[in-house]
Chains A and B, each alone.
Chain A
Amino acid sequence: MSEVIVITSGKGGVGKTTVTANIGTGLAKLDQKVVLVDTDIGLRNLDVVMGLENRIVYNLVDVIEGNCRMKQALIKDKRYPNLYLLPAAQTRDKSAVTPEQMIKLTDDLRESFDYILLDCPAGIEQGFKNAIAGADRAIVVTTPEVSAIRDADRIIGLLEANEIRKTDLLINRLRVDMVRRGDMMSVDDVVEILAVNLLGAIPDDESVVVATNQGEPLAGNDEMAGMAFLNICRRVTGEAVPLMDFSKGKGFLSKVSGLFKKH
């Protein structure tokens, strides 16, 4: 059974595109057949994070308008045999497609893929409505900051109103050192405020910036963020994986409540 998952947040810049690229890559590493769809028409970035920006010929809008077949638009990632990208158009805007067209598109993709990941644009307007139209479930990305959480709450409400059957939370850019000092809300704090199921957390990690510079998603590598992403991918497939301890150094009061909860 294919799953169509929309990765959304409300707030811009919290890491939706990075999360989409890395969950997609991680799922492909776990031998799933994955297609990443960039629905941010006019401001495409998923191709950049994936390092596939120089291979775009056709895009999402071309497929919907019938200018090409789906197969011509899909970019096969040479690093992973089961990973494909459907890029957004750069010279159009969100009004170029309708929710109904998106539903048809995702239904077409269901025939060939285990996971269809939709990278949703920021906001709650047409772009958001298009992205959630065909989705079975949603991953809401937030950082542990006031503005991001407020927007995430609004998005969660909208997802519920649109009858998305499963919504999970991903907390990005967690700074364990700041949490310990009391200068950042903890994973537990955020989950308590938003009252939605936690999919996982990604620590703030310089290697993410490096990965984007190089166009090489880091899911599954040895860095903290890479391992955290792979754990998240396992949870997406239904596996129960305990939350990582992100604090460095031993002998810490790092095993605080919540960090080692069995999922």
Chain B
Amino acid sequence: MIGWNLFHRRNSGCIAKERLRGMLLSDRTNCSYDTMDMIKKDFRRTIEKYLEIDAKDIEVRLEIADETGQGVNNVKTIQIKGL
């Protein structure tokens, strides 16, 4: 949450955009913020179980994919930070 304190009034437009992304994700998937947090937490724990990395060093982002497709070219590579 390092960035939060650095947001000041000038970037309220950016804040709005980020908040909207979260809201729409929650609305469209019918998934509460708490549930999304738990998903992220479980994801971090699972990675931590199998890889040499701290849970706190893993950033998990949930995003809405605008396009879906099949095949190798459409699989999103998960970037694991710090590895």
> Which residues from chain A sit less than 8 Å from chain B, CB to CB?
145-146, 149-150, 153-154, 157, 178-179, 181-186, 189, 193, 195
Contact = CB atoms under 8 A, between A and B. Distances in A.
A182 B13 contact: yes
A202 to B, nearest CB: 19
B20 A181 contact: no
B23 A150 contact: yes
B76 interface: no
A146 B13 contact: no
Given A183-B9, A193-B21, A153 B27 contact: yes
B56 interface: no
A186 B24 CA distance: 18
Interface in B44-61: none
Interface of B: 9-14, 16-17, 19-21, 23-24, 27-28, 66
Chain A's interface: helix, strand, loop or mixed, by majority? Answer: helix
Contacts of B16: 145-146, 185
Chain B's interface: helix, strand, loop or mixed, by majority? Answer: helix
B51 to A, nearest CB: 33
Contact of A193 (B9, B10, B24): B24
Given A182-B12, A183-B12, A153 B17 contact: no
B27 A181 contact: no
B10 A150 contact: no
B10 A181 contact: yes
A258 to B, nearest CB: 14
The CB with the most chain A CB atoms within 10 A, among B9, B11, B14, B24, is that of: B24
Given A153-B28, A189-B13, 6 more contacts: A146-B16, A146-B23, A157-B28, A178-B13, A181-B10, A193-B17
B50 to A, nearest CB: 35
B55 to A, nearest CB: 30
A146 B20 contact: yes
Contacts of A195: 66
A85 B28 CA distance: 37
A150 B9 contact: no
Contacts of B11: 182
B17 to A, nearest CB: 5
A69 B46 CA distance: 69
Contact of A189 (B17, B23, B28, B66): B17
A150 B27 CA distance: 9
